[in-house]
Amino acid sequence: AGHQRHRQAGPSTPPSSPPNQSLSVQRQLYERDFPLYKQPVEVGHFSLDSERRFFNDDRQLRYYVEPEKSCPNFNLRDGYRDRFIKRDDGVKEKLDHILRWILANRSKLQSKEVAASSSPCALGVNVVTWRGHLTKLLTTPYETQEGWLLAVTRMGGTLYISEVETEAARRDQEDRTERHEEMMYWGYKFEQYTCADDAHSLPDPGGVVNTNEAFCTVVQTRLAEHRLLFSGEVDCRDKDPKAPPPPACYIEMKTSLEISTPKQRSNFHRFKLLKWWAQSFLPGVPRIVAGFRDHDGVVVSVETFHISKISQLIKNETNCWKPTVCMNFCCDFLSFVKSIVTEDNPREVHLFSWEPHRDVTYSIHRDSQYSFLPDWYIREMTS
Ligand code: A3P
Ligand code: MG
Ligand code: MG
CB 218 within 8 A of CB 46: yes
pLDDT at 3: 41
296 vs 38: CA distance, rounded Å: 42
Enter the pTM of the model.
Answer: 0.94
Whose Cα sits closest to atom 19 in ligand 1?
184
CB 325 within 8 A of CB 335: no
pLDDT at 102: 98
244 vs 16: CA distance, rounded Å: 50
Query: pLDDT by residue for the chain (383 residues), tens digit each?
Result: 334 444 444 445 556 688 999 999 999 999 999 999 999 999 999 999 999 999 999 999 999 999 999 999 999 999 999 999 999 999 999 999 999 999 999 988 875 555 555 555 689 999 999 999 999 999 999 999 999 999 999 999 999 999 999 999 999 999 999 999 999 999 999 999 999 999 999 999 999 999 999 999 999 999 999 999 999 999 999 999 999 999 999 999 999 999 999 999 999 999 999 999 999 999 999 999 999 999 999 999 999 999 999 999 999 999 999 999 999 999 999 999 999 999 999 999 999 999 999 999 999 999 999 999 999 999 999 98
353 vs 150: CA distance, rounded Å: 6
Ligand 1 atom at minimal distance to the Cα of residue 183? 16
CB 335 within 8 A of CB 139: no
- Determine how many CB atoms are found less than 10 A away from the CB of residue 351: 16
Ligand 1 atom at minimal distance to the Cα of residue 252? 8
The closest ligand to the CA of 214 turns out to be 2
298 vs 296: CA distance, rounded Å: 6
Whose Cα sits closest to atom 14 in ligand 1?
187
Whose Cα sits closest to atom 4 in ligand 1?
187
- C-alpha of residue 352 to centroid of ligand 2, in Å: 26
The closest ligand to the CA of 253 turns out to be 3
pLDDT at 120: 53
The closest ligand to the CA of 279 turns out to be 1
pLDDT at 15: 60
Q: Is it true that the peptide bond before 247 is cis, omega within 30 degrees of 0?
A: yes
pLDDT at 383: 84
- C-alpha of residue 184 to centroid of ligand 1, in Å: 6
Ion ligand 2 — residues with CB < 5 Å:
233, 235
- C-alpha of residue 201 to centroid of ligand 1, in Å: 25
pLDDT at 17: 82
Burial class (CB in 10 A: 0-12, 13-18, 19+), 22: middle
pLDDT at 122: 81
